[in-house]
Structure 1
Amino acid sequence: MKILITGCNGQVGNSLVKLLSSMLTVEFLAVDHKQLDITDGPAVIKLVNEFKPDVIVNAAAYTSVDKAEQEIELSYAINRDGPLFLAQASNMVCASLIHISTDYVFDGNKNGEYEELDVPRARSVYGASKLAGEEAVIKECNRAVVIRTSWVFSEFGNNFVKTMLALSKRQNSIMVVDDQIGGPTYAGDLANEIVKISELIYLNKNFPFGIYHYSGFPYVTWYEFADTIFDIAAVYQIIQEKPSLNPIKTNLYPAVAKRPKNSCLSMDKIENTLSIRPSNWKVGLERVLLNLRVPNESNRN
């Protein structure tokens, strides 16, 4: 099986590269935006025609939620046009496309978990551009899987876990939003499931393509997530003392783009159809913190 990965320097992309590097049954090509600008249609078609993948995994995205409110054209170019070009190229070589999307396609006002058939209503440019990407992929490619996920964290790149640890070094007291709820998702677990889906597609001519939700469980607020981060970090002596956490409401937190208050994604479909269970984010968090502790220890020696 041959897999093409775009956005290989992101959290999911890095996790995929790490995983696939140990798999002898898979040939993969991982590219970042410098090696492949997915907003360049001819370049996308050229690379896909040369490599001829069985599966394309689009992990590339514009993810600066607040900056997207000003950089609208760039956000749509990367989040809508890029996926469209990848979908068109996948058709040319009869490849399947796995496209990663987000909980931000929903407005967050629903009571209960969001299901795949719920009508999306994005509240931000980022969410609207990601929704446009979903629609382009589904319309253009009949061999597409769209995976909506939420609150991704990992050892790689910038994410909430690293932000909290950095703040704890500068502040004794930290304010964290406590009225937004969702499922933190370990990128390593998401990468595992993407590879599993790729294998299922490769082996099954009747694979059920479409939109799926995948995230961590149990659902928590950002405040509860931060509290758990510091509890585990203290146990592993990554921080010397747990900072004081102060809950704050969304309307008091300065942010340019609107965030969904409810980011809980139902995973019934992916579990019942593909036997993929939710990510245990607490286990993933321990892995991330242990990995982040290693360089700290080496720096002290």
Structure 2
Amino acid sequence: MTPSELPTDTAVAVVFFRPSPEQVARIVERFAGRLPVFVYDNGGIPPEALAQLREAEGLTRLGEGRNHGIAAALNALAEAATAAGFRRLFLLDQDADATVETAQALGHALDRAIGEDLPPALVGPSPAPKPGHKAPVYPLRPGVPPRENLRPVEFLATSGSLVDLAAFAMVGPFRDDFFIDAVDLEWCFRAWAGGRSCWMDPGTAIPHSVGRGTIRMRYLPVTMPDQPVFRMAVYVRNSAYSWRLPHVPGRWKLKQVAYLPLQIALYWSRHRFSPRVLARLLAALAQGLGGRLGRPADAPP
């Protein structure tokens, strides 16, 4: 891709938390000097990687190296990109296997998603398989027809998505009191409720996974990501709190009411029915139902 073919209205946004030097190097090598890059330091960047970020062309580093959670980091990146005059922001996490060409393809997809009603808030790639990990599933939005080959979906993962920053300003920021899990899900439901739309481009795919592996239930077709206890607890808390939100569709709430207890049981069995793990998850469930959100006490610094 020649410099004249690069999108001039798009910046890249990356959140780093305890990345390896190789992960930082991959972002720098693929994007720095080709597209403007904004990175947020949520902590744990190795010294040699920090030096590489400081020397990278066209790269702006935000954050002071303390873990503020994914939502707060994404909000800061969106604010900085908007202030710098960009119209679109390509969101990535440190694991994302994406390129400048991915951003360009999604830019064309976002153009195709523009219609007479329900203007697009974001477009994202389809999840490519990643061995040993459960790929996310993005349910279709009922009652909304496809636009060309694009599929209207209830939600997408933030990582790999191209966000329209004008739509972001209208929908509002990601919920920083969610801290990490279900941030993207809640925001997309809010976008749909506000008259904006979310789209998946089947012609563009990147590997995407959550957690460090997959847990499978023996007798039922139930799978879920294997995550640290604190991550699972935040997921349970935020999922339960989402039942209180009017913009989250009833069909999704009913599905989660049935599915969340199975996930808790499956995760508990994975941890050999530890009383400590069960107590943590049930406390998280009570926090969500009671609306007690914010930074988890056991979140890593």
TM-score (norm 1): 0.27
TM-score (norm 2): 0.27
